[in-house]
Amino acid sequence: MEEKYDSISEVNLKRLWWNFKVYIVRIWEELSKYNKQETWSIEMVLQDNKGDRIYSTVPRALVQKWTPILHEFQMYTMTNFTVVDNKTKTKNGVSRYVLTFSHRTKVTHVEVPTFPLQAFRFRSFVDLQNAAMLGDADMFDIIGEVVGKEEPRDLITSKGRETKRLVVILQDLDNNRMSCTLFGDLVDQIVPHLQEERVEPLIVVMQYFKVSRWNGKTSVQSNFAISKVHINLDLEEVNFFKTRVVSAGPSSVSRISYVSSPRDWSAADELKNGCVAVKTIEEALNVAQEGPIWIAGTIVSINAGKAGWFYKACRRCLKKVETPVGTRYECAKCGHTHGVAALRYKVEVMAHDETDSICLLLWDKETTQLCGKPAESIFNEKLAPDDEYPHTLDNMMDKKVLFKLNVKAANVKQYDPVYTVMKVCDDEDTISKNLPMTLVDNNTHVVNEAGNNNSFDIPGIVVNLTIDNDTHFNMECVSSIKFKTPAKRVASGVKVATINLNQDEEEVHHSTNRFTRKLSKKMKSQQSDIDS
């Protein structure tokens, strides 16, 4: 008489004794967070004859007992578990209930399987790209041929652990393509198979991956230890896929090509590639979706105090360091200690175009590109008593720049008025070719001479030239006007205030802007000439 087995779908907390016949469709080890050489637990995904799946775990005390017995894609009978309820949270997207091994658990290997293995639950590329919504806990399997790769990158996680990242491009049988990001040991596993001269198709199955959507593009990525890459696996699904690929005809060139990541492109390359549309600042302030966008604007203000234009960073991972350990700094992210921290730019500026103004945060690479010198080289520049930052940063003033912004949810919801800059381009030819159409027709300043209005019209800033009929304040003086804001955050979308040179002293003290060193010196010089 054939023994009766329970179905995974029947699992609940009311019964103490369960008897299953299942395949192990995924098994892996979780390492101790205190000692990476020690296995903390064995994690598994089990599947019965109905295709239902459940999560199972072997605690540390039993790891040594079960490690040599449990193997992936093998069938077992299993009895006596402790059932744990994760309430409404599914364990790794697999199941609400977890079967936990105990000292009473019994496992027997089934030499002759009684039902077929259904190891994967494939999702098509088109299905993933068209899906209206995919949750963070939703995981799935995909199959494809590797047709492209990027260069592997070294990373340091938020917990200070060193790891790797690699992007490969997969192609399905209908020539649809999907970007797939691998992390950690999966990178080391696949890299030896990615030779550029390879002529045989490399078929991979990405098991228990999750979807990622950014800026309207869909990709997949590994999800910690549960994810696995199967390379040229000898299973029916893989063999069928490979046969279809080979039957399409032999490839006369290498099957895996190198592709450059958009992150590797310079700003000019990205703009010349034609994959971006530059927005006006007004349009940028009104975007309703997170993601990268490009804008064009002129830097009209620098918001930086004496120590507000840089930060001290770890020399290994570039994370900000604050707490000294004796005379040394210790990085809280990667744990590296060193005698002297690196100095890196972190500068807040205001950019303006004919439509609006916007507050931007420039990091080290972008600031260095715009001002021409690294932060450490200008740290010791002598400052006048009323100077707020080194003179070198003034090299950015009045520069017309294309900015690539990272629009965050806080920007969209107007919680944070400062937009982070990802890339900059100050090449004049590239800028002129990529200006928004609404700015192309208005990229020159006009002098208004109607009536008695002797004003020079600068977008967002109007400077009155009539100062007690003093003809010495000429157009040359106005053309050098630059503004610096006090060391405080400026409201998003607020244009630089109108400055009238007839303001009395009280009004000037209440102004949110003041003249730069260059204008002040020029005014003093011209006043001296008048007095003489």
**CATH number for position 98:** 2.40.50.140
Residues 459 and 337 in one domain: no
Q: Cα 329 vs. chain centroid, distance in angstroms?
A: 27
Residues 358 and 337 in one domain: yes
Residues 195 and 173 in one domain: yes
Alpha carbon distance 259, 177 (integer Å):
13
At position 187, the amino acid (one-letter code) is V
Residues 294 and 429 in one domain: yes
Residues 348 and 385 in one domain: yes
Flag whether pLDDT at 466 surpasses 50. no
Residues 276 and 373 in one domain: yes
Residues 137 and 225 in one domain: yes
Flag whether pLDDT at 327 surpasses 80. no
Domain count along the chain: 4
| Domain end point (choices 258, 278, 307) | 258
Torsion of CA 267, 269, 271, 274, to 10 degrees: -150
- Residue 212 belongs to a domain: yes
Tokens found for residue 354: 């004919």
Helix and strand numbers, DSSP H then E, in the chain: 14, 29
**Cβ neighbours of residue 86 closer than 8 Å, sequence gap 6 or more:** 96, 97, 98
Cβ burial, residue 420 (10 Å; 0-12/13-18/19+):
middle
Alpha carbon distance 454, 465 (integer Å):
6
CB-based contact 85:127 (threshold 8 Å): no
End-to-end CA distance of the chain: 119
Flag whether pLDDT at 450 surpasses 60. no
Which pLDDT does position 337 carry in this prediction?
A: 81
Residues 452 and 480 in one domain: yes
Alpha carbon distance 498, 366 (integer Å):
29
Which pLDDT does position 70 carry in this prediction?
A: 97
Alpha carbon distance 90, 355 (integer Å):
49
- Residue 117 belongs to a domain: no
Residues 248 and 368 in one domain: no
- Residue 76 belongs to a domain: yes
Domain that holds residue 92: 8-109
Residues 102 and 199 in one domain: no
Q: What angle do CA 146, 149, 151 make, to 5 degrees?
A: 155
- Residue 283 belongs to a domain: yes
- Residue 118 belongs to a domain: no
| Domain end point (choices 209, 225, 258) | 258
Alpha carbon distance 51, 33 (integer Å):
33
Tokens found for residue 343: 């100095």
Comparing 529 with 508, which gets the higher pLDDT?
A: 529
Which pLDDT does position 480 carry in this prediction?
A: 36
Alpha carbon distance 276, 403 (integer Å):
12
Alpha carbon distance 125, 142 (integer Å):
8
DSSP one-letter code for 159: T
**Cβ neighbours of residue 306 closer than 8 Å, sequence gap 6 or more:** 383, 387, 388, 389
Question: How would DSSP label each residue in 416-481?
Answer: --EEEEEEEE--HHHHHHH--HHHHTT-S-EEE-STT--EEEETTEEEE--STT-TTS-HHHHHT-
- Residue 470 belongs to a domain: yes
Alpha carbon distance 499, 510 (integer Å):
12
pLDDT classification of 357: cutoffs 50, 70, 90 = very high
Which pLDDT does position 308 carry in this prediction?
A: 82
Flag whether pLDDT at 462 surpasses 80. no
Q: What is the pLDDT of residues 224-250, one digit of tens each?
A: 899 999 998 888 888 999 999 888 766
Alpha carbon distance 317, 161 (integer Å):
11
pLDDT mean over 18-41: 92
Render the burial of 258-283: b for 16+ CB within 10 Å, e for the rest. ebeeeeeeebbebbeeeebebbbbbb
Residues 207 and 247 in one domain: yes
**Cβ neighbours of residue 530 closer than 8 Å, sequence gap 6 or more:** 470, 472
**Cβ neighbours of residue 435 closer than 8 Å, sequence gap 6 or more:** 278, 296, 443
Interstrand relation of 53-58 and 97-109 (parallel, antiparallel or unpaired): parallel
- Residue 116 belongs to a domain: no
Q: Cα 157 vs. chain centroid, distance in angstroms?
A: 13
In three-state secondary structure terms, 513 is coil
Which pLDDT does position 446 carry in this prediction?
A: 41
Neighbours of 244 (CB within 10 A): 14
Nearest CA-CA partner of 511 in 488, 492, 486 = 486
| Domain end point (choices 394, 417, 440) | 440
Residues 295 and 186 in one domain: no
- Residue 412 belongs to a domain: yes
In order of 128, 148, 205, 235, the CA distances from 172 in angstroms are 13, 13, 11, 17
Q: What is the pLDDT of residues 34-79, one digit of tens each?
A: 887 899 999 999 999 999 999 999 999 999 999 999 999 999 999 9
Flag whether pLDDT at 505 surpasses 50. no
pTM: 0.56
Q: What is the pLDDT of residues 129-150, one digit of tens each?
A: 888 766 666 889 999 999 999 8
User: What order of strands is seen across the sheet that includes strand 337-338?
Assistant: 324-325, 328-330, 337-338
